[in-house]
Structure 1
Amino acid sequence: MAKRGARRSAADDPNRPCPCGSGLPYADCCGPVHRGVGTAGTAEALMRSRFSAFAVGDADYLLRSWHSSTRPARLRLDPDERWTRLEILDTDAGGLFDTTGTVRFRAHYRESGRAGTLDERSRFVREDGRWVYLDALPD
């Protein structure tokens, strides 16, 4: 558990760039969304905030941003996985006035010293007026 705390402290450094790749500091980008004082205005913004949550080890935010019909009861993040970079490859809908959207992305990580990637097309919907992750679409 000490690793999780160390990851969060590093991400909360106001000078450190947000893991989502926006170029903004974490404290001005995904940090407020994780703390519940801001919201993701688009499906892509939610995807970015979820990637950042994986990067900083915020399982609580991941569960809160998951649709109630597909959300697991618990989520345990692997402390040996380090999410390092996000590429947004494509988006379909998911804008300010949409109710559904998809985001195709490639997430880069390191696990046990080895580099890896996760390619996924995620589906997002609005639930109670806010964007949430629904599920991954098959290729």
Structure 2
Amino acid sequence: MKLCYCNSQRSFKDCCEPYIKGIEKAPTAQALMRSRYSAYATHEANYLIATTHITERSNYSKEDILLWATSNQWQKLEVLNTTENTVEFKAYYLDQNKKPQIHHEISTFVQDEGNWYYVDGEYY
């Protein structure tokens, strides 16, 4: 069994993969955030663009997302705090020089017509 990249201790096929493949909708902001982390780990830039709120999409390019996703080796996700519309997390990764890094963010999400979307984040 391939464990999910989001560190849920569930299998990828029973956790984030159905969201990334569009089979199911992420039911919460945290589920969307976890699936977005898994999408970085699996280089699914189309999913990352699609799950960014329409008002923010022009701030991101598929090419930049793919470059960030593929130039880093994603190690693990740690969810620190969650509210209905925010998720604080740390994403651990090795950069292109194999140097350990931590991306610490509080992400804001919005639900629009039954779908959760990433809006923006505050970085620490």
Q: Same fold (TM over 0.5)?
A: yes
CA RMSD across the alignment: 1.3
Matched-pair contact (CA < 8 Å) for 2:104–2:123: no
Question: Hey, what's the Cα distance between the residues in 2 that align with 1:59 and 1:87?
Answer: 21
Q: 1:128 aligns with which of 106, 113, 117?
A: 113
Pair 138,120 (structure 1): closer, same or farther in 2 beyond 3 Å: closer
Q: With the length of structure 2 as denominator, give the TM-score of the two structures.
A: 0.89
Query: What is the Cα deviation at residue 25 of structure 1?
Result: 1.1
**TM-superposed deviation, 1:138:** 6.0
Q: How high is the sequence identity, in percent, across the aligned residues?
A: 37
Q: Which residue identity is paired with 1:58?
A: E
Deviations 1:101-120 (A, max 9, x none): 11111000111211100000
| TM norm structure 1 | 0.80
Asked if residue 62 in structure 1 is aligned to residue 48 in structure 2, the reply is yes
Per-residue CA deviation, residues 24-76 of structure 1 (Å, 9 max, x unaligned), is: 11111111100000111111111100000001110010011100000135222
Q: Is structure 2 residue 102 aligned with structure 1 residue 102? A: no
Contact 2:75–2:94 (8 Å) recurs in 1: yes
The whole-number CA distance in structure 1 between the counterparts of 2:122 and 2:94 is 24
Helix, strand or coil at the partner of 1:109: strand
Distance 1:138 1:55, change over 3 A: closer
1:40 lines up with 2:30 in the alignment:
no
Indicate conservation of the 8 Å contact 2:81/2:88, yes or no: yes
List structure 1 segments (4+ residues) > 6 angstroms apart after TM superposition.
none
Once residues 42 and 114 of structure 1 are traced to their aligned partners in structure 2, the CA distance between those partners, rounded to angstroms, is 32
Runs (5+) with no aligned partner, structure 1: 1-14, 95-100
> Which amino acid letter does the alignment assign opposite residue 62 of structure 2?
L
Of 77, 86, 104, 1:119 maps to: 104
Unaligned regions of 5+ residues in structure 2, if any? none
Number of equivalenced pairs: 118
